[in-house]
Structure 1
């Protein structure tokens, strides 16, 4: 297929992109209106993903016989499966664990971005990396300062922001495709 044929297919798909935008924006608004429900939903979805990955790893470990990493692959699969099922069947405890993980990730990413920004110092725009690192660090501190109570809303708010961001992206793409 030629580039012009691909371009034509993209231009005619603007309606579907707009539908995705609306669904994502509605999901983001609903997640903001009820962050606890969104947090529980995100925890359960993460649990199902972990459970599926664990089950696949367990199956895969038995498919390759006679290799020295069998026990490690099996152990990894079983642990991933257990974590996933734990999140699915006990999402309230799971959301506390995931929120703590998110806070620690924000802290670590913030520190790494700040250090990285200093290495970029002679380059124009290095300050934006510094600002991004400070924001990440501040988010981690904010989550931990209200922990474990923040666990009831943090994941839901992050999900809402992601859905709203995707909705805006899809809407802008749809409008761009419509004009093309």
Structure 2
């Protein structure tokens, strides 16, 4: 949890504040190590990421199906949707565990769809707010999102796999840097 408000920050006890700083440091170091590994060994780390995501998808699917038995009296539509989503999670998880390269390519397709959707949304927001400040940046970032998605989709399977792993590694590095900068900006004591 990131606490930005000075009011909330001043309400923390010294012990909770130190625990928060320690947890943030541990998370940042882990992200830094994993991000560097993704950049140095993209193919191997891509396989590990596929296995991890597949395992988490399977857990989500089992949890969704298990919750059907607990909440079976809540309504037939909700139960049906929960079963469908649970099965989808399980199928996605098993596909990632069985074929990590193919599963990572499926995740890449999903990420590309999100880039396309985000790019179109940003361009539309920039056009609708063209007189406001930052509208040009919205359009530029939207165009960059579309270019990234096009480059990603035009790559071969191996290139797509490696690009996705490198992208995840860079995201981990930037997140680790952000957490460390936030931790550094926090005072040592309340």
Aligned pair partner of 2:183 in 168, 174, 179: 174
Aligned 1:152-171 pairs, distance under 5 A: 152-171=161-180
For 2:76, the equivalent position in structure 1 comes to 68
Aligned pair partner of 1:113 in 114, 122, 147: 122
Aligned 1:1-180 pairs, distance under 5 A: 4=10, 6=12, 8=14, 9-10=16-17, 14=21, 16-65=23-72, 67-69=75-77, 70-178=79-187
Answer yes or no: is the 8 Å Cα contact 1:14–1:174 preserved in 2.
yes
The 3-state SS of whatever aligns with 1:122 is: coil
Report the Cα offset of residue 3 of structure 1: 5.5
TM-score (ref. length: structure 1) = 0.85
TM-score (ref. length: structure 2) = 0.81
Answer yes or no: is the 8 Å Cα contact 1:100–1:144 preserved in 2.
yes
Answer yes or no: is the 8 Å Cα contact 1:50–1:80 preserved in 2.
yes
Q: Deviations over 1:6-63 (max 9, x none)?
A: 1744367545534433332222111111111222222222212211111111112233
- Structure with the bigger RCO (C-alpha within 8 Å, sep 6+) is 1
Aligned length: 179
Question: Aligned-residue CA RMSD in angstroms?
Answer: 2.4
Q: Quick one: distance in 2 between partners of 1:112 and 1:102?
A: 15
Q: Quick one: distance in 1 between partners of 2:66 and 2:25?
A: 40
Gaps of 5+ in 1: none
Q: Quick one: distance in 1 between partners of 2:19 and 2:103?
A: 43
For 2:3, the equivalent position in structure 1 comes to none
Q: Quick one: distance in 2 between partners of 1:81 and 1:110?
A: 30
Q: Quick one: distance in 1 between partners of 2:145 and 2:117?
A: 9
Q: Quick one: distance in 2 between partners of 1:136 and 1:157?
A: 17
Report the Cα offset of residue 144 of structure 1: 1.0
